[in-house]
Structure 1
Amino acid sequence: MNNTFNQALAFDFGTRRIGVASGQSVTGTASPLTPLIAKDGIPNWDEISKLISEWQPDALVVGIPLNADGTISDMAHRARKFANRLHERYKTPCFLMDERLSTAEAKEIHFASGGSDNFREESVDGIAAQLILESWFNCDIRIPSHTRLEEVYDLKHT
């Protein structure tokens, strides 16, 4: 576990909602926060600024939704672009994290706690962001957001 970054915020990028979680490297745990509304992947940057101000993260982490076979999806490129915008706006180190199956696992956690299958009303995006951040805390590899996805992913086509 890398303890260089104590407090981090993670984002589960989506075109209509962006899941958010806050966590600490000391415990390696994270907690889901209220998801942000987005319009075609564009968030309300004022809301993100409030989160940054409140949580004062040392690092930002954005989940990269690869295809099941490890290839790069269009959404992965959009998530990376979002990560780079976070880095540019807030001058905070921003990292990428493979998030395959995080939404499926978030739904399982949601159902296990008695949640319904109405995900518009009961979003699992914050739980997905929590899983992304906890995975990042437990991973030794740090992939800066400016790294081209093809340099670390899409290995099936190299």
Structure 2
Amino acid sequence: MSGLVLGFDYGQKRVGVASGQRLTGTATPLATVPNPQLDGWAQIDAVLAEWRPAQIVVGLPLAADGSDTTVSSAARRFAAALGERCGLPVALIDERLSSHEAEARLLADGRRHNAVRRTRDAVAAAVIVETWLAEQPH
């Protein structure tokens, strides 16, 4: 079985995508695509076909207290639809503060705010994948 994991940072307008490797526990931002309800499925299907992962991880947006947010149910529906489309296991993982972590990483790398906005979702997906990988037994 491949050690490749694809992670998704679901958003109402955009979805960040990242790849991760079980062996190294690291992840790399890949792309930001439109939300599937806004014609993003073709791009997501293309990423799945190109990378052929063994596992999918989707960030679950939760409130600071761990309760659902207005986007939580949409993220769960996206995860279920993704699993049905590709026939792979899909794990949901708490993504609290992943976007903030992504922005902090990008700004620390010296990126300007315009560049941060364009790549934040894909970097947040990488944070989600790295978090999931760190929680997996070795």
1:18 counterpart SS class: strand
2:66 aligned with 1:65: no
Shift of 1:128: 0.3
Q: 2:8 aligns with which of 8, 11, 21?
A: 11
2:30 aligned with 1:33: yes
Shift of 1:43: 4.6
Q: 1:84 aligns with which of 76, 80, 88?
A: 80
Q: 1:45 aligns with which of 16, 41, 54?
A: 41
2:77 aligned with 1:102: no
Q: In structure 1, what residue type is equivalent to 2:15? A: I
Shift of 1:9: 0.3
TM-score, scaled relative to structure 2 = 0.91
Query: Could you tell me the percent identity over the aligned residues?
Result: 40
8 Å Cα contact 1:102-1:128 kept in structure 2: yes
Between structure 1 and structure 2, the one with the greater Rg is 1
Query: Which structure has more helix as a fraction of its residues?
Result: 2
Distance 1:37 1:120 in 2: 17
Structure 2 unaligned segments of length 5 or more: list them. Answer: none
The corresponding residue for 2:133 is 137
Q: For this pair of structures, how many residues does the alignment match?
A: 137
The corresponding residue for 2:119 is 123
8 Å Cα contact 1:115-1:122 kept in structure 2: no
- State the Cα RMSD in Å: 1.9
Query: Which 4+ stretches in 1 moved above 3 angstroms?
Result: none
8 Å Cα contact 1:12-1:63 kept in structure 2: yes
Give the 3 Å change call, closer, same or farther, for CA 69–89 of structure 1 in structure 2.
same
TM-score, scaled relative to structure 1 = 0.80
Shift of 1:117: 2.2
The corresponding residue for 1:147 is none
